[in-house]
Amino acid sequence: MTESAVLGVDSSTQSCKVEIRDLTTGQLLGRGAAPHPPAFPPCSEQHPLEWVSALAAATRAALAACARTPVIRAVSVAAQCHGLVILDVHGNPLRAAKLWNDTTGAPALAGLADRIGVSAWVRRTGSVPTAAFTIAKLAWVADHEPEVLDRAAAIMLPHDYLTHWLTGRRVTDRSEASGTGYFDISTGQWITEYLELAAGERDWTAMLPTVLAPSEPAGTLRPAAADVLDLDGDVVVGPGGGDQHAAYLGLGLRDGDQYIGIGTSGVVATSSRAPVFDERGMVDGVADLTGGYLPLVSTLNAARVSDVAARLLGTDLPGLADLALAAGDTQGPVLVPFLDGERKPDRPDARGAFADLTSHTTREELARAFVEGPLLSLMSARDSLRACGVDVSGAATAVGGGTRSPATLQLLADLLDDEVTVLDADEATARGACIQAAAVATGRDVAGLVDLAKQWQPQERHRVSPRRTGRNLAALRARWAELAASDLLENGVRT
């Protein structure tokens, strides 16, 4: 019997990953992946057609991995946030897309912040925009390539472009719109006056995509796109969303649950029904995929700090974990892991700092400090959410490559003084896109979308409980906060 299925897409900076899941049960039927061209700051760009090629290759690989060829009923795309895609009147990209980690728009953004006012900006968009936000990239294009904007018929984000390629429609969703710097998260309207300040007077309303509801169809698959993807039949396309937002949905988490991402960067987030406005700029009050909000804090230095530690200590990642877990109950040294500057807090020129080294400091204590430093950053991030009145009293779920380290999970549980759960979902973003696609295919409303996410929630892979140690973890956190706030970090490493 032919199975009805949905296809979820995770188009990240590094690659495109596709999952195919049974429409009724959510069972994984097949997955595929294809790389994107490498891109690095400060000028980080990829051509949108490269995303299409990767999507086609990943989709065909996922279909080939299925035991029986399924009938795809719906597709949804989640992708890297903030990037800028500019199209002409024929729907063709006018230039390569500027990605979230392109920092060339930072000077223009500083000028915009002075003109708009940080407080006013936060109160409308929910965030203090950084160079990652779309508006900074648009300002750069206006300053350096005004002829491109003169030919522009549409501006959109990476996920918007792929949805446009699938359907021919220019649409987006709240989660992605809220990361542009020109979307009012309370009214759900574009802020065209901010675009005028960034890039001059134009018919911005005609150039912006329509913002869809969480389970509102974006359209149906174009025959030309179906041919490229090797799909048949009447395929509906969902509104899609941002990658972190889709991952939260894919894990089946609800308001107050703690999403702790430990990948190349770090993330602490939860969902909320009320918007969040943090004028200090630590918390981004972005929208989620369920009609609510996903207040989050993103740090720059997370799992990759362990890569540096393993190199400096002459071991590998398993060896680093063994060393860190063998450190015992000593208070030990403290690491502020701003190795390449930091995003939250906004310390682009900061450097990492070790403190409290003594002649008795051991290799094991150094290893523990390397693993613990990024986790202390995430604990500070959670404090920022709480300071904004965000409920983070729910269960803690850790995701990302860093969860492969037993030391990372154990030290995180110790700092939280609570259990940490890892779910059986290596690709939560594509999984979340599948859930949205299934909700669209079956005509569910927002409540039905949330219920479906819970029904499809991954099984628990493992759970780690906190240890009772002789360390004063409150003093450790206070010491870390003192060091992290120090201006001396701008001057390099100190002991």
Asked if pLDDT for residue 147 goes beyond 70, the answer is yes
pLDDT of amino acid 159: 97
- What proportion of the chain, given as a percentage, has pLDDT over 70? 99
Asked if pLDDT for residue 93 goes beyond 60, the answer is yes
Residue written as token pair 């682009």:
348
What is the rounded CA–CA span in Å between residue 394 and residue 254?
9
Question: 341-374: per-residue pLDDT in tens?
Answer: 888 988 878 899 999 999 999 999 999 999 999 9
pLDDT of amino acid 481: 96
pLDDT of amino acid 493: 44
pLDDT of amino acid 491: 53
Query: Which residue among 10, 160, 173, 243 is the active-site one?
Result: 243
Question: 169-204: per-residue pLDDT in tens?
Answer: 999 999 999 999 999 999 999 999 999 999 999 999
Strand partners, 35: 15
Question: 407-442: per-residue pLDDT in tens?
Answer: 999 999 999 999 999 999 987 999 999 999 999 999
- DSSP assigned state of 457: P
What is the rounded CA–CA span in Å between residue 288 and residue 220?
23
pLDDT of amino acid 479: 97
- What proportion of the chain, given as a percentage, has pLDDT over 90? 88
pLDDT of amino acid 72: 98
What is the rounded CA–CA span in Å between residue 317 and residue 302?
14
- Residue 40 — pLDDT band, cuts 50, 70, 90? confident
CB 184 within 8 A of CB 191: yes
3-state DSSP assignment of residue 3:
coil
Asked if 451 is an active-site residue, the reply is no
C-alpha separations of 467 from 320, 329, 376, 460 in Å: 19, 11, 17, 20
In the chain, the domains with their CATH numbers are 4-243 (3.30.420.40), 253-424+465-495 (3.30.420.40)
For the entire predicted model, the pTM comes to 0.91
Average pLDDT of 251-267?
Answer: 93
